[in-house]
Amino acid sequence: MVSPDVVVAGAGMIGAACAEALSAAGLEVTVLDRGAIAAGTTAAGEGNVLVSDKAPGPELELARVSRRRWPELLAALREELGPALAEAEWEAKGGLVVATTPDAAASLSRFAAAQRAVGIRADEIAPADAAALEPHLTRKVTAAVHYPEDAQLQPVLAATTLLAAVRARGGEVRAGTEVLGVTRDSAGRVSGVRTDRGTIACRAVVNACGPWAGSFAARVGAPINVLPRRGMILVTGPLPPGTVRRKVYDADYVGAVASGEADLQTSTVVESTRAGTVLIGSSRERVGFDDTVRIDVLRELARKAVALFPVLADVPVMRAYGGFRPYAPDHLPVIGADPRLPGLWHATGHEGAGIGLAAATGRLLADLFTGAVPEVDPEPFRVDRAAVIDGEAAA
C-alpha cells in the first residue's frame, strides 16, 4: 500500500467531509474508524442544515458558507459518482420558528432582526401566515419567523456518499481499525499512526472522532476539551404527506443550543422525513457516555411536540434513539492544526450542528492544510484557544 498523506480518524460526517475535501485537493487520504462507518453521532441525528438556530457570530458564518456549499458539493458528486451513490435526500424545505408566549415572541423578534442584519433570510410572518405554511400547527402561535434557507439531508447517506468519493479518488476507508497513538519523526512531527492493525505512515492525522475526540486527543498526547452531550429523538409512524411540511421548532430551541447550563434541556423540533415519518427532537443531557434511555426525557419531547402540533397526539411513536453530540465549553467547533504536535489536526466540537457544518468544515480544514486562503475566518475555531486546551484536559 502506498502511504497516505493524511489519516483521518473517524468515519462519521465530519471525518468524511474532511477526507472528501482533502482528497479533492489532491491528497492521498485514508479514513479509519474503530467501529462501523457513519455509525456514531452521524447515525443519531436529524440531518439538520440550519442557519436559523444560530446567533450572529463565527458559527453562523460557518453555517452560512456550509449551507451554500452542501448542494454544490452534492451536485458535483452526482457528476462524479452517479445519481444513486450521490443520493443524500437533500431537501431545502425551510424552517419555521414559532413562539407561543408574548415573552418568547419578543426575543424571537430580536433574534431574527440580528440575523437579518448579517444577511440571513429571517422573514417575520403573521401567525395566520404561519398557519398557512403549516396547517396543523397550534393556533397559540404569537410570533413566527420563516427561514427559507434551512435544509435537511440524510446524514448516513451523505457521509457514505462523501466516503465513496474518497474511495473513487484512490483513498481508502477502513472500518474496525482503531488508532492507538501516533509515531513522530526526529523533528517531533507526526510520521504515522499506530493502530490495532499495524502502523500506517503518514504526514498528518486528523482527529474527527466527534464526542470521542477528547479521548483521542489525550491518547496522542495533545488533550483537548471536547465532551459528550446526550440527545434523544422520537420517530413516529408514517403520516400523510403534508402533515408537517418544514422544520418547525419552538423558539425555546434557540436558548437551549447556546446554553451550557442545565443538565437536561428539551426544546421542540418537529419535522417530517422523506419516508413520511416525523422526527421529534431534541433533548440535551450532560450524562457522559451513559446511554440509558430516560422515559421522562421522552415524555417531555412528546409533551412539547403535541403542544406544537396537536394532531400528533394520536400518532404512534415507532422508536426512539439517542446519541452523543461533541461540544467544547465555548460551544464553538474546533477546526485546525494543533500547534503542540505538528501534523496533528482536529475537526470536532460541532455539537448538534455537525451535519450542517460539515461541508464548510471539510473545506476549511483542507484549505488550512494546503495553505489556500479559506473562505471562513479560521481564527474563532483555532485549537489553541483557552476553552479548548486549558483546564482539566491539560491537567
Partner 1 sequence: MSRVVVVGAGPAGMAAARAAAQAGTDVLLIDSGARLGGQYHRQDTRAGTERFTLPARVEHLAESVVWALEPVAGGHRVHVRTGPADGPGRSGRSIDTPALVLATGAFDRALPFPGWDLPGVFTAGAAQALAKGQGVRVGERVLLAGTGPFLLPVARSLLDVGAEVAGVLEAGDPVTGWLARPGGGLSAGIGKLGELAGYASVLARQRVPYRRRTTVIEAHGTDRVESVTTARLRPDWTVVPGSARRVEVDAVCVGFGFTPQLELAVAARCALADGFVTVDAAQATSVPGVFAAGELTGIGGAELSAAEGEIAGASAARLLGAHPAPPVRALRKARRGRRFAAALDAAYPVRDGWRTWLREDTLVCRCEEVTYGELRGAAREREVCGGRALKLVTRAGLGPCQGRVCGRAVAELTGIPDAAATFARRPIAAPIRLGELAEEPTL
| Residues binding partner 1 (CB under 8 A) | 35-39, 43, 84-85, 154-157, 160-161, 163-164, 167, 173, 175-176, 234, 236-237, 275, 277, 280, 292-295, 298-299, 302-303, 305-306, 312-322
Pick the closer one to partner 1 by CB: 237 or 242. 237
Rounded least distance, CB 167 to partner 1, Å: 8
C-alpha cell at 123: 422573514
Residue among 273 and 348 whose Cβ is closer to partner 1: 273
Distance (Å, whole) CA 295 – CA 103: 29
CB closer to partner 1 out of 5 and 33: 33
Q: How far is the CB of 178 from partner 1 (least distance, A)?
A: 14
- Min dist CB 179 to partner 1, Å, is 18
| 24/37 with CB nearer partner 1 | 37
Nearer CB in complex with partner 1: 258/264:
264
Beta carbons of 108 and 97 less than 8 angstroms apart: yes
Nearest distance, CB of residue 329 and partner 1, angstroms: 29
Give the CA distances from residue 184 to residues 55, 201, 224, 331, in Å, rounded to whole numbers and listed in that order: 41, 10, 19, 31
Q: Is 366 left (phi over 0), alpha (psi -120 to 50) or beta?
A: alpha
Minimum gap (Å) between residue 264 Cβ and partner 1: 15
Give kind and range of the element (H or E) at residue 264.
strand 264-272
C-alpha cell at 45: 441525528
> 465530519: which residue's cell?
14
Q: How many residues does the chain have?
A: 395
Closest CB to partner 1 among residues 176, 339? 176
DSSP 24: H
- Closest approach of partner 1 to the CB of residue 133, in Å: 22
Residue 221 is given by DSSP the state T
